């Protein structure tokens, strides 16, 4: 999984914490996390395409959340950045090499490796779909309730 997922999830939390300030430009978001602006902008545009964020063009433009954190799951963020294709792709190598001479009857059932990977991926996707960004934000502030205020103060100075 790319680092873009981490960046996008953090940006969503940030956009929530800075929500009243209007759209947040990519340059400000990038400065706050010390990230390369062009690459971060690609992640933010992916969030826009997925309906997680909105983009306002122009000098006073930037990004905002399209909906509350409670309506955005971690799976929404992963799908926005990584896409919806399965992480594992079975290429049926069991039919090559020694398997190329095996009778077709040996391959009637599903590939056991593919079955195991699909089961694991389903569990992973389900767990991410059950966790909203509001849950993640609550966990982030549980040990540090001043975090959103600290972040807003930092952005107010820049």
DSSP string computed for 59-81: TT-EEEESS-GGG-BHHHHHHHH
Render pLDDT for 87-111 as a digit per residue (tens, 0 to 9). 899 999 999 999 999 999 888 888 9
For all residues of the chain together, what is the average pLDDT?
94
Cα–Cα distance, 87 to 79 (Å, whole number): 11
pLDDT of 1 strictly over 90: no
What pLDDT shows up at residue 47?
A: 98
Q: Note the pTM of the prediction, 2 decimals.
A: 0.87
The whole domain housing 88 covers 3-157
Could you read off the pLDDT of 123-152 as tens digits, one per residue?
999 999 999 999 999 999 998 999 999 999
14 HSE (CA, 13 A, CB side): 23
> Which pLDDT does position 70 carry in this prediction?
98
Confidence band of 19 (pLDDT split at 50, 70, 90): confident
Is residue 41 within 8 Å of 35, Cβ to Cβ? no
CATH number of domain containing 88: 1.10.10.10
- Percentage above 90 pLDDT, the chain: 81
pLDDT category at 20 given cuts 50, 70, 90 is: confident
Exposed e or buried b per residue across 110-141, where buried means at least 16 C-beta atoms within 10 angstroms of its C-beta:
ebeebeebbeeeeeebeebeeebbbebbeeee
- Tokens encoding 60: 């006073």
Query: Pick from 61, 57, 51, 58: which is nearest to 21 by CA?
Result: 61
Name the domain count of the chain: 1
Average pLDDT of the segment spanning 37-62: 94
């Amino acid at each position: 999984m790319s680092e873009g997922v981490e960046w996008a999830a953090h940006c969503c939390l940030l956009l929530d914490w800075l929500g009243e300030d209007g759209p947040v430009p990519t340059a400000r978001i990038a400065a706050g996390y010390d990230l390369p602006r062009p690459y971060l902008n690609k992640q933010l545009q992916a969030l826009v395409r997925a309906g997680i964020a909105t983009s306002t063009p122009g000098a006073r433009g930037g990004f905002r959340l399209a909906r509350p954190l409670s309506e955005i799951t971690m799976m929404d963020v992963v799908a926005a950045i990584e896409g919806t294709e399965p992480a594992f792709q079975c290429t049926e190598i069991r039919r090559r090499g020694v398997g190329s001479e095996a009778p077709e009857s040996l391959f009637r059932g599903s590939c056991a490796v593919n079955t195991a990977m699909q089961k694991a991926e389903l569990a992973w996707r389900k767990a991410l779909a059950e966790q909203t960004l509001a849950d993640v934000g609550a966990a982030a502030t549980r040990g540090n309730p001043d975090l959103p205020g600290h972040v807003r103060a930092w952005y107010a100075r820049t």
